[in-house]
Homo-oligomer: A and B are copies of this chain.
Amino acid sequence: MTIGHSTPSPAKSRIANSMGKARILMEALPYIKAFRGKTVVIKHGGSTMDDPELQSSFAGDVTLLAMVGIRPVIVHGGGPQISQEMKRAGIVPEFVDGLRVTGPETVAVVQRVLAGDINPKLVGMLNAHGSAAVGLTGLDGGMLSAQTLVPKLGLVGEVTRVDTTLLDDLLEAAMVPVIAPLAAGPGGETLNLNADTAAAALAIALNAQKLIYLTDIEGVRRSEEDAATLISKMSQAELGELLARGEIGGGMRPKLESCRAALAGGVAQAHILDGRMQHALLLEIFTPEGIGTMVTP
């Protein structure tokens, strides 16, 4: 250290640091202004649900959304955990015309995993971060009514009616609903729903601003093998063409079909986000650098 030259004093660097913080907080202002009072339906699922750090980051993000006046509604799946539990329960898969038959025993396992494992775990985590989360299934308050999709497949449902009375009450009270995708069938029996389509149905019925799918992929690619073809933003029309071309497959296809349905039903923005990235939700909603793929009308 030579005369006349000082290393940056701690005070100065502290101020520079503070200014940086302030700048980032101010950057969030227009997003808070745009989205407060709006409902955001978030489908949370996939392999990321088993990573405690990602779970904690997710719980923090949702809590922050709720705290600034945005209305998050969480819908969760549980595919891997259900498969594991079915194996453990020794349920032998049965098929008709190549499709899995879902009998009462299977639905009981699904319900036990969704409502008995995943849902309370999510609620506990959200509340530990400061939310007032409330765990629900689509049966509660008559929220989701469904009919069997294909009779011979058994207890797999498609939504026929959404009653938002209970959700409206909870959102008005600033609580965070966490919903397991089960529905009441015509005779009151429990039906299993696809979580992606359930999320879209709820987003439409709640007149949501955003429907967000947290997945274990970076976003939608024009060409599946080429990471460089990641689509950052597309219109409803472009989504239609993409689906028509038939190149999208796997788990992404039903998600994109649900996005299309949601937009057609009045949802303003649909997103495919990479749930493996910490704070993906926060960054998407509160910073200018949107991440993943956004579809708008």
Contacts and interface: CB of A to CB of B under 8 A. Distances in A.
Nearest to A89: B88
Nearest to A31: B67
A237 interface: no
Count class of interface residues, chain A:
35 or more
B135 A123 contact: no
Contacts of A135: 115, 136-137, 139-140
Contact of A64 (B29, B60, B123): B29
A293 interface: no
A124 interface: yes
Contacts of A175: 141, 166
A120 B173 contact: no
A188 B124 contact: yes
A14 B289 contact: yes
| Complex copy number for this chain | 6
Interface string A98-139: 000000000010011111110110011101111011111101
Contact of A137 (B32, B120, B278): B120
A97 interface: no
A170 interface: yes
A117 B124 contact: no
A30 interface: yes
Contacts of A15: 277
A32 B117 contact: no
Given A21-B24, A67-B68, A140-B133, A124 B29 contact: no
Interface of A: 14-15, 18-30, 32-33, 36, 57, 60-61, 63-64, 67-69, 108, 111-117, 119-120, 123-125, 127-130, 132-137, 139-142, 165-166, 169-170, 173, 175, 182, 184, 187-190, 277-279, 282-283, 286-287, 289, 291
19 contacts: A18-B283, A21-B27, A25-B25, A25-B279, A26-B282, A29-B130, A32-B64, A112-B117, A113-B116, A115-B115, A115-B119, A115-B135, A127-B139, A127-B184, A127-B188, A132-B142, A134-B136, A134-B166, A135-B139
